[in-house]
Structure 1
Amino acid sequence: MTTSSAPEPVPVRIRVLLPGNQEVVARLCSRRQVRDGWRYEVGLPAYSNGPGDSVEPAEYRVWVRAPDHVRPVDGVSYDAVPTEYLKPSFVEEVLGPRRPSGWVLAKGGGRGPGRGGVVHAVDCEEAPAGAPVLTLERALNAAEQPGVRLCSLCGAAAELDPVLKGFDHGFDET
């Protein structure tokens, strides 16, 4: 049998915002990253009934949404709090991080292809800085204008062409 020499993590103080604008100092036991943010497991001070008519100090543990329901205590370090980070899904592991959504239109000028502009993904290196982000509908409307083309470097063409031309385009009909 082996024993661990690692000390048990000591919960640290944190302020918890309660309903009715009340605030108490509680113990932060652990943190967990979830898809829509963070949850903090806090131990709120309470009392419980003991044997007979006794009343004993107790702790009520609950998961709360951060930062909506918790605030740091000045001078307290939260580095040693046990923290569970969100694990990427299988799809995220295979495909990598998601690209930001939306498209931008780089307005063109002059004559020839692209004179009306080029539709890029928002993170394309060729996309103009500060251009307004277009929704799918607006990007499709822009792409249908004469002289506007879709960027093939960032994948805007691969993403928007099937929607413009129909998903069956390029497949053999049998």
Structure 2
Amino acid sequence: MPTEPPPAHAVTVVMPDGQTLTARLIEREQVPGGWRYLVGIAVWRNTDQGAVEAAEYRVWLDPSAQVKPIEGVSYDDVPRRLLPPPPTYPDPGPGEPWGWVLEKLPQRGRGPAESVLHVSDCPEAPAGAPVLKLEAALTAAENPRVRTCTVCRAATELDPLLRGFGHEDD
């Protein structure tokens, strides 16, 4: 008796106890550490009326350890979500200052106004704002009413310095 081909997008899922079962690959998503796969596992579930019905349990899994391809199955048309490319900004031209700028946001309510710290070439940075050097930018970023911009490099450049090192001793 010939065996039937596996269903479209079928994968093998490795359970925590080492057992394997066949599931359906629904989507692949790129994450900072690699990939994760959304799989649908056929299960039985009880209804509110006390009956038992077929259902699909969906879960994101790590393909390096929990999901294995099945020989002969194509996954080319399974939807993939890729990480967006990191933003790129032009380098400042010759003679242009480089550093950080502080954007003062409009005051809301009675509390003190908030501010956002940007890299000087950030498209969200206010035009004509004074350019701060590293020490002044770090001092501003320590203020709880100031947040670093996540659109530009300000957060990735300043946050590790604030959390990982004491800059007062420099």
> Structure 2-normalised TM-score?
0.46
Structure showing greater Rg: 1
